[in-house]
Amino acid sequence: MSRSPAPAVREIRVTDEKAGPYGITAGPDGALWLTLVGSGRIARLTLDGEFREYPLDSPACRPTVIAPGPDGALWFTRYQDHRIGRITTDGAVDSFPLPTPGSGPFGITAGPDGAVWFTEMNTDRVGRITGEGEVTEFVLPVTGGFPSAITTGPDGALWFTLNQANAIGRITTDGDTAVHPLPTPDAGPVGITGDGTALWFVEIAAGQIGRISVDGGIREFPLPDRTAGPHAIVAASTGDCWFTAWGAGRVGHITADGEITEYDLPSPSSEPHGITLGPDGALWVALEAGGVARVEPERRQPDPAGA
């Protein structure tokens, strides 16, 4: 066995609580990129603390989740005005309307096919957008499923959470879909990530972390605090995932065998949402109360007792 010391955590205030840092990702330029959902802006934070905001054309568009695209730009969802946004690393911004009115795009990820894939929470669709802005939508075999986060799996398909359908979905780049119901009723899956072997996801309503293999086998691991509200999750390596506990002001860690450890953030009411592995090897967390947190786990040390 091994011991896992508490990580070093530092909070950095970047804006006020009304701006609401929500999504966060590492960009190809070695900086962190954030969505400011409350102010309609995208922000860039360097590792040495330089912070810059880029206003979007609609302050009320509610930029939500952000991810690096295959073209070297950052792509993000605009939940309120139903558009997909794109920003280059030097700050040039563009956006593309979606064909289905009121679609409510939320999750977004680079696909294995050179395009960007996203979910439409309000209309039970998954979308694909090319670098030129051409959009294709795929209707899912559910009604009121609330597709939320999305990621590319190790099998070359896209995997996503169905928050209200209580399931994990899979869609190929050709549009073939499958739905895998969760064992726990009303679990409310949200965030999802791939670790190179399987997919890991959080169940915000059930207070659990789940793992699904590419053949659909599911395991669920309850958190010590079932009311913690896990929200987002990221894989640092195979079987090594970190997640945010939005309702409890914590970050947590889960191993391949389901061992869970949670750590309090310095500010209990910071509202941690998005989480990403930074270019410096640390974990970075978007805090909707107006900041970011840098979490640097210490290296695991062998247990000298061999217990």
Catalytic residues, by residue number, are 273
For 263-272, which contacts have Cβ atoms below 8 Å and span 24 or more sequence positions?
A: 263/6, 263/7, 263/9, 263/295, 265/9, 265/11, 265/293, 266/9, 266/11, 266/293, 267/11, 267/291, 270/11, 271/246, 272/231, 272/244, 272/245, 272/246
Distance (Å, rounded) from C-alpha 49 to C-alpha 72?
22
DSSP letters, 175-232, are --EEEEE-SSTT--EEEEEE-SSSEEEEETTTTEEEEE-TT--EEEEE-SSTTS-EEE
* Cβ atoms of residues 189 and 153 within 8 Å: no
| Six-digit token string for 287 | 């805090």
Question: Rounded to whole angstroms, how far apart are CA atoms 161 and 203?
Answer: 10
- Cβ proximity of 103 and 123 under 8 Å: yes
| Number of Cβ within a 10 Å radius of residue 256 | 15
Beta bridge partners of residue 242, listed in sequence order: 234, 253
Calpha distance 98→101 (Å, rounded)? 7
Q: Rounded to the nearest 10 degrees, how much is the dihedral formed by the CA atoms of 48, 51, 54, 59?
A: 140
